[in-house]
Amino acid sequence: MKAKGPNYFRSIFAHVMLVILSFMCLFFFYILFVNATRSHADLQKGFSALPGSYLWKNLTSVANDGSFPMFRGILNSLIVSGSSAAICTYFSALTAYGLYAYDFKLKKAAFTFIMAILVMPTQVTAMGFLRLITNMGMYDSLLPLIIPSIASPSVFYFMYSYLQSSLPMSLIEAARIDGSGEFRTFNTIVLPITKPAIAVQAIFTFVGSWNNYFVPALVIQSKDKMTVPILIATLRGADYMNFDMGKIYTMIMVAIVPIILVYLFLSKYIIAGVTLGGVKE
């Protein structure tokens, strides 16, 4: 009988750990689904591992609630998150390309300035940001939730590191010799190479924008312009006599569906983005 070597036990340990981690990740999604299928009275009784029979009723209650525009909130979140992910990844990649492909006197100073903004919390500039958008007439609109996404130091740094690993300068110089303009070079050569990194950052930006509560709560007042986190918060803060925990869990479950779909659509790029695949110099 062949002896079992250390690799066998290492493989068993790795599989056991993967099963445990998978269970820990998926368990909370399962509990969310279970709670969404239970009524408010059942939820008050305590924990249950078995689904209830109130899912459709909770869905119709949320959808037909005239004071709670669920579908409008999902549409607003899709507009804000999709637009933020698109402009954030594009302009961050463009900025990273500008600092990577050009040598100028203030290059190090510009890089340091962008990195300094990275450590500045959003709350510090909240009041100045609110006054600015009010003076510009953009208060209570979706534009203040989208336009600031153009400047994202964290995405810039990721894209800059990716370009250093995957984009040889000889490729850019060859394009310039062939008469290609800088924007054409960026759009036709650089973007395809950075597609894995853009997809990864698009997922993170989309999820971050979708879950953002602080800024929308600061600038949005009209219910027809509220995003999903704000609507969930208003539902949670409703009158105690009309409070329904089942509706809240149902709304949270509905709110995470677009995030899961975006992840499934772009997940094939995650491994490519992590490995920093592409052309090596």
Per-residue pLDDT reduced to its tens digit, 209-265: 998 888 888 888 888 888 888 888 777 665 555 667 778 888 888 888 888 887 787
Specify whether 225 is located in the same domain as 86: yes
pLDDT digits (tens, 9 = 90+) for 185-202: 888 888 888 888 888 888
Point out the domain boundary residue: 61, 86, 103. Answer: 61
Specify whether 224 is located in the same domain as 244: yes
pLDDT digits (tens, 9 = 90+) for 106-151: 888 888 888 888 877 777 778 888 888 888 888 888 888 898 888 8
pTM score of the predicted model: 0.80
Point out the domain boundary residue: 61, 77, 100. Answer: 61
Specify whether 39 is located in the same domain as 91: no
Task: Give pLDDT, residue 240.
Answer: 54
Specify whether 55 is located in the same domain as 76: no
φ, ψ of residue 169 in degrees (nearest 5): -65, -25
Instruction: Report the domain count for the chain.
Output: 2
Look up residue 239 and give its two tokens: 């009158």
Q: Which residue has the higher pLDDT, 238 or 20?
A: 20
Instruction: Say if 120 falls within a structural domain.
Output: yes
Q: Quick check: 271 pLDDT over 80?
A: no
Task: Give pLDDT, residue 275.
Answer: 54
Q: Quick check: 1 pLDDT over 50?
A: no
Instruction: Say if 26 falls within a structural domain.
Output: yes
Specify whether 82 is located in the same domain as 197: yes
Within its chain, how far is the Cα of 169 from the centroid?
31
User: Which of 247, 197, 189 lies closest to 89, judged by CA?
Assistant: 197
Task: Give pLDDT, residue 278.
Answer: 43
Distance between CA atoms of residues 60 and 121, nearest Å: 39
Specify whether 37 is located in the same domain as 134: no
Specify whether 125 is located in the same domain as 263: yes
Give the pLDDT band (50/70/90) at residue 7. Answer: confident
Domain membership of residue 10 as a residue range:
6-61
Distance between CA atoms of residues 280 and 152, nearest Å: 26
Look up residue 233 and give its two tokens: 């918060």
pLDDT digits (tens, 9 = 90+) for 144-199: 889 888 888 889 998 998 888 888 888 888 888 888 888 888 888 888 888 888 88
Q: Output the average pLDDT for the chain.
A: 82
pLDDT digits (tens, 9 = 90+) for 27-56: 888 888 888 888 877 887 777 777 878 888
User: Which of 257, 255, 248 lies closest to 36, judged by CA?
Assistant: 248
Distance between CA atoms of residues 128 and 44, nearest Å: 43
DSSP annotation of 68: -
Specify whether 89 is located in the same domain as 103: yes
Amino acid letter, 213: Y
Specify whether 112 is located in the same domain as 157: yes
Specify whether 138 is located in the same domain as 26: no
